[in-house]
């Protein structure tokens, strides 16, 4: 991977915002605590331009630019979005719809790979490159639309840490059951991400995904298990998913860990009316299962 720093990334991002390529606007923050589970809502009106569902069209002029490969449903309106190529398998790029500064995407160069496929060794190798060089970023993967993806070209995302509720996921398991409102599976790498190989991550991921399959009622033969993956602070978290949304309340991997980004205040109101813990239980798998 070519030299990369947050300073150079932010400089490129600001240029692209000024040129109207990247959408970024101020946002309102609402912080809530729901029986010990912290949630931060960010209300960012510019997200109304972002497609929320698979197949939803992208607004002009973005949809007039080149696609990210012949099999892709993602667009690259400016080559400056591409920050680096990782291991000849992934592009590291800036997200067109930016709430965090910066906000990254790791797309497979093979544009026919799809978001319903589990992560593989190449994916984890690319993720490790980012985690090792940009230590304040965490990586998420939303496997299937049920888990919160809106584009089908296989991609991970890099977000500024920490995930809001992360500490609850690495505390004593007995206490976590009472505070985290859904099932999850976690592994901490004793050697840290710097001392862990992509092959090591694949092996642990396979074990955690097997656990997610079982609590989801899926056999190992089933092709698709909707789930989220989070990589942060030498830890992997896998969250099985049952639903993409409850009414208008939805969440991707970051949302399940307490960082929910929405375009309108009334979506936050919907979360509150339904009950935040209830929504998260419906999106994931409750402990009673």
| Phi, psi values for residue 240, rounded to 5° | -70, 145
Residue 31 near residue 40, CB atoms below 8 Å? yes
User: What's the chain's average pLDDT?
Assistant: 93
Average pLDDT over residues 109-130: 98
The phi, psi pair for 32, rounded to 5°, reads -130, 155
pLDDT of 61 strictly over 70 = no
Residue range 185-236, pLDDT digits in tens: 999 999 999 999 999 999 999 999 999 999 999 987 677 999 999 999 999 9
Q: What is the DSSP string of 30-99?
A: EEEEETTEEEEEEE-GGGGGS--STTPPPPTTGGGSEESSTT-S-EES-GGGEEEEETTTEEEEE-SB-S
For residue 288, tell me if it sits in a domain: no
Is residue 125 included in any domain, yes or no? Answer: yes
Query: What is the C-alpha separation between 172 and 287, in angstroms, rounded?
Result: 16
CB 177 within 8 A of CB 260: no
Provide the pLDDT for residue 54: 73
Using DSSP's 3-state secondary structure scheme, residue 226 falls into coil
Q: What is the pLDDT of residue 59?
A: 65
Q: In degrees rounded to 5, what are phi and psi of residue 236?
A: -115, 130
Report if residue 1 sits inside a domain. Answer: no
| CATH number of the domain where residue 78 is located | 3.30.428.70
Q: Is residue 204 part of a domain?
A: yes
> For the segment 164-191, what is each residue's pLDDT rounded down to a tens digit?
999 999 986 666 778 999 999 999 999 9
Half-sphere exposure of 107 (CA within 13 A, CB side): 25
Query: Does residue 52 carry a pLDDT above 80?
Result: no
Q: Is residue 289 domain-resident? A: no
Q: Which whole number is the average pLDDT over 50-56? A: 69
Residue 58 pLDDT more than 80? no
Give domain status of residue 66, yes or no: yes
Which range marks the domain in which residue 259 is found? Answer: 6-283
pLDDT over 90 at 46, yes or no: no
Least confident of 79-83, 96-100, 243-247: 96-100
Considering only CA atoms, which of 213, 243, 235, 217 is closest in space to residue 225? 213
The reply to whether 191 falls in a domain is yes
Give the model's pLDDT for residue 215.
95
Domain count, the chain: 1
Q: Exposure pattern of 174-189 as b/e (b: 16+ CB <10 Å)?
A: eebeebbbbbbbbbeb
Task: Look at residue 239 in the predicted model and tell me its pLDDT.
Answer: 98
- pTM given for the model: 0.95
* pLDDT at site 173: 63
Structure token pair of residue 135: 């230590």
Can you tell me the distance from the alpha carbon of 174 to that of 217, in angstroms, rounded to the nearest whole number?
23
Domain assignment present for 176: yes
Q: Which residues contact 273 (CB under 8 A, 6 or more apart)?
A: none
Tell the burial category of 148 from Cβ atoms under 10 Å away from its Cβ (0-12, 13-18, 19+). buried
């Amino acid at each position: 991977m070519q030299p990369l720093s947050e300073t150079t990334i932010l400089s490129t991002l600001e240029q692209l915002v000024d040129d109207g390529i990247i959408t970024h606007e101020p946002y309102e923050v609402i912080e809530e605590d729901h029986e010990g589970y912290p949630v931060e809502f960010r209300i960012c009106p510019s997200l109304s331009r972002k497609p929320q569902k698979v197949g939803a069209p992208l607004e002009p002029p973005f949809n007039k630019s080149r696609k990210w490969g012949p099999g892709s449903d993602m667009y690259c309106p400016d080559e400056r979005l591409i920050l680096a190529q990782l291991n000849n398998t992934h592009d590291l790029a800036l997200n067109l719809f930016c709430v965090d500064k910066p906000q990254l995407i790791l797309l497979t160069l093979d544009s026919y790979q799809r978001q319903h496929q589990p992560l593989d060794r190449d994916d984890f190798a690319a993720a490790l490159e980012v985690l090792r060089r940009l230590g304040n970023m965490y990586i998420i993967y939303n496997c299937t639309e049920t888990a919160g993806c809106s584009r089908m070209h296989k991609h991970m995302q890099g977000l500024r840490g920490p995930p809001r509720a992360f500490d609850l996921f690495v505390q004593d398991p007995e206490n976590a059951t009472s505070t985290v409102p859904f099932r999850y599976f976690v592994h901490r790498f004793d050697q840290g991400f710097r001392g862990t190989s992509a092959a090591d991550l694949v092996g642990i991921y396979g074990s955690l995904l097997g656990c997610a399959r079982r609590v989801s009622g899926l056999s190992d033969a089933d092709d698709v298990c909707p789930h989220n993956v989070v990589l942060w602070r030498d830890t992997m978290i896998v969250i099985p998913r049952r639903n993409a949304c409850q009414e208008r309340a939805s969440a991707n991997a970051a949302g399940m860990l307490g960082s929910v980004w929405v375009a309108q205040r009334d979506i936050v109101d919907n979360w509150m009316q339904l009950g935040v813990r209830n929504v998260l239980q419906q999106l994931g798998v409750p402990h009673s299962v």
